[in-house]
Amino acid sequence: MLDKTFFSFQIDIAESTDPDNEGSLKYQLFVDDVNATEEKFGSTVTIGAGSTRHDDLQGNTTYKVQVRATDRKGGKTFSNTLEITTDPTPPSTFTVIEVVPGPTSVFTLPEIYSKVGYNVNSFYLDGEKFTLDGIYSTNNEDGSRTFHFDKEDIPETNTTYNLEFEVGWHSTWNSNTGQTYYSKSVNQGLQLRVNEYSPTSADVQTVYLYGPNHATAPLQFIVKFHDNKLSDYEDYDIYSVKIGGIEVKNYFANQIGSANEVSLTGSVTLEEYNTIKENPNNSRVVTIDESGYHALTEYSIAFEE
């Protein structure tokens, strides 16, 4: 056995040795139908030698698995019997483990099942269903996943919604067949609200992003602001920096004059660079000061190879 989940297993089938040297043309996988006869085929799948996967199984269930090889003359040979117990089915509920206040709404969903990611991604606002596909998210080292909701992701800003999450897994690798297992959030009073940003006179002038083969600054970036001004206030913080939809963390501020007169310098990974190059839109610098959160958006990216 190579691998298993709660709905599937994967096994490796060695090439059958035919004493008549006729060559085995067909292999059949038998599940819970050991030593099947000509008249009883049971749950079978015709396969080839090598790795094969069988799905649409029940969780936490033991299956007896056998392979039958058939040669050109019709001779049949059975393999050894392998007992495989599938993983337990993921829990039907989970708890959102983190809620971060700010200009956007940020929620972290725990790792519910580690072997395969969920392929049903939904959230509900006051009972109305929406898809999580397209919501900016980050995968964390502990297996959890953090979703960042912005004003483009909800029907109305400055509106408080009751929030629920629902994720799920198809029992087959083809989502059009089999069944779906669901897991829903159970947080009491979970709410989502996205506020409009407060106005600011600060604005991004441009972003220089250097390619992986640049002679002096590979995979580096520089963010420059009009009049070098990042904020209307000298007492401020940078809430987030997003370039081409990627929220970058590795950066620092270079002070040019007053505390709010700066440029930003940082770096991205090669994977992040390729993603930004493919879709350079959705860039934003967000600051926070005594008057609220401010978004500096719609700036251009100058790629320097």
Please give the domain boundaries of the chain with CATH numbers for all domains: 3-85 (2.60.40.10), 93-193 (2.60.40), 204-304 (2.60.40)
In tens digits, the chain (305 residues) has pLDDT values of 678 889 888 887 766 555 555 555 677 778 876 544 433 333 444 555 567 778 888 899 998 888 877 777 777 778 888 889 999 999 999 999 988 777 778 999 999 998 887 778 999 999 999 999 888 888 888 999 999 898 889 999 889 999 999 999 988 866 667 788 999 999 999 999 888 888 999 999 889 999 999 999 999 999 999 999 999 999 999 988 989 878 898 999 999 999 999 999 999 999 999 999 988 877 889 998 888 889 887 667 899 98
Q: Are strands 105-109 and 191-193 parallel, antiparallel or unpaired?
A: unpaired
Kind and range of the H or E run holding 270: helix 270-278
The residues near 187 (Cβ < 8 Å, ≥ 6 apart) are: 95, 96
What tokens does 49 get? 């030698």
Minimal CA–CA distance to 190: which of 119, 120, 97? 97
The residues near 30 (Cβ < 8 Å, ≥ 6 apart) are: 36, 41, 42, 43, 44, 65, 66, 67, 68
Quick one: 67 exposed, middle or buried, by C-beta within 10 A (0-12, 13-18, 19+)?
A: buried
Give the integer Cα–Cα distance in Å for 286 and 243: 12
Minimal CA–CA distance to 6: which of 86, 92, 97, 99? 86
pLDDT for res 160 = 92
**For the whole prediction, is pTM greater than 0.75?**
no
pLDDT for res 266 = 95
